[in-house]
Amino acid sequence: MKIITGVGAAVLDHLNLIEEYPAEDGSTHITQIISQGGGACATAIVAAHRLGMHGQMISSVGDDETGQQILDGLDFEGIDTTMMEIVQGGVSPHSEIMVNPETGTRTKFVCSNTLPPIEWNPDQIALLQNSDILHVDGTRYDNAMKAIELAKQFGIPVSVDGCHMEADRELNRKMAEMSDILIMNARYPKLVANTETTEQALAYFASIGPKVVISTQGTRGCLAWIDGKVEVFPAYSVKAVDSTGAGDVFHGAFLASYVQYGDVRRSIQYATIAAALKCTQVGGRAGIPSHQEILSYL
């Protein structure tokens, strides 16, 4: 079994199902509240693990109730959390998410990660060294870059989730340059590459390092730079109730397929189906489909 190690966000999501999103200074009714593990990196690792890889996380939580819930959620999924750091007196990352089931959209309010950087003790380094691939989300640039530098020393491929943008875009460009697989959201490519079109941005990123360059576009599917040109992959149509975590599931599913088969097109199609099926349930993890479910649509 291939091993994937994640370094990045592991949070607790409080998903509030609402009647409709109100105007500022207005109000609405919350019809249901669901707490579920989240975080771009952690959810990707959970998805990859469910789809046939062995998942490991190196991240930090506080010693509060939220931190314990984050760890419990990862442990329940079978993720190796032995090298997670628990910070005494720390406040664990969490999000308040307003979900409109009628439209399948969500609005996020994220509590910033104020925990100290990962210490990178010998046991954490050994865990990373035993990986087949590293996945980072860049939400903590310091942690992500140290992990990438270690992975490069060990000859481990690096997957970067292009979602979090630094004020200094040059830092994002440096991270992209060091990646082997770069999968970005819709906003990231043009803003970081400073181009007029996404197509130009994909060409730029493909020229500086990564072998795989993709931009997910939500309901419009995704764009990928393959064999010297941009290819369009349509989204799979479902009745969506919540898009939370769809991009994260795309990452995990893509990596689970790509590490095994090495086929970019097949892996995009596989991940597109996984992300769409996730949207049929509330939360980033509840709707992650099984391998067999995805194959039935492939």
Residue 26 lies in a domain: no
**Euclidean distance between CA atoms 97 and 192, whole angstroms:** 26
Confidence of residue 27 (pLDDT cuts 50, 70, 90): very high
What the block records as the tokens of 80 is 């190796």
Q: Compute the average pLDDT of residues 199-211.
A: 97
Hey, is 4 helix, strand or coil?
Answer: strand
Residue with tokens 């000859």: 155
Q: Compute the average pLDDT of residues 182-200.
A: 96
**Euclidean distance between CA atoms 247 and 135, whole angstroms:** 14
**pTM score:** 0.95
Residue 211 lies in a domain: yes
Instruction: Let me know: does 251 contact 47? Beta carbons within 8 Å.
Output: yes
Confidence of residue 22 (pLDDT cuts 50, 70, 90): confident
**Euclidean distance between CA atoms 279 and 239, whole angstroms:** 8
Which pLDDT value is given to residue 108? Answer: 87
Residue 29 lies in a domain: no
Residue 22 lies in a domain: no
Q: Residue 298 pLDDT > 90, yes or no?
A: no
Residue 147 lies in a domain: yes
Which pLDDT value is given to residue 101? Answer: 82
| Tally of CB atoms within 10 A around 97 | 23
- Residue 71: CATH number of its domain: 3.40.1190.20
For 210-232, give one letter per residue: b (16+ CB within 10 A) or e: bebbbbbbeeebbbbbbeeebee
Best CA proximity match to 224, nearest among 232, 272, 246: 232
Which pLDDT value is given to residue 274? Answer: 98
8-state DSSP, 218: G
Best CA proximity match to 6, nearest among 287, 264, 248: 248
With the CA atoms of 73, 92, 6 and 295 taken in that order, what torsion angle do they form, in degrees rounded to the nearest 10? 40
Which structural domain, as residue segments, surrounds residue 226? 3-11+38-92+115-297
Residue 192 exposure: Cα atoms within 13 Å on the Cβ side: 27
Residue 24 lies in a domain: no
Q: Compute the average pLDDT of residues 18-39.
A: 90
Number of domain units in the chain: 1
Hey, is 7 helix, strand or coil?
Answer: strand
Q: Residue 188 pLDDT > 90, yes or no?
A: yes
Instruction: Let me know: does 13 contact 46? Beta carbons within 8 Å.
Output: no
Burial of 12 (0-12, 13-18, 19+ CB in 10 A): buried
Instruction: Work out the angle at residue 125's Cα, subtended by the Cα atoms of residues 121 and 129, and round it to the nearest 5 degrees.
Output: 170
Q: Residue 103 pLDDT > 90, yes or no?
A: no
Residue 164 lies in a domain: yes
Q: Compute the average pLDDT of residues 257-266.
A: 97
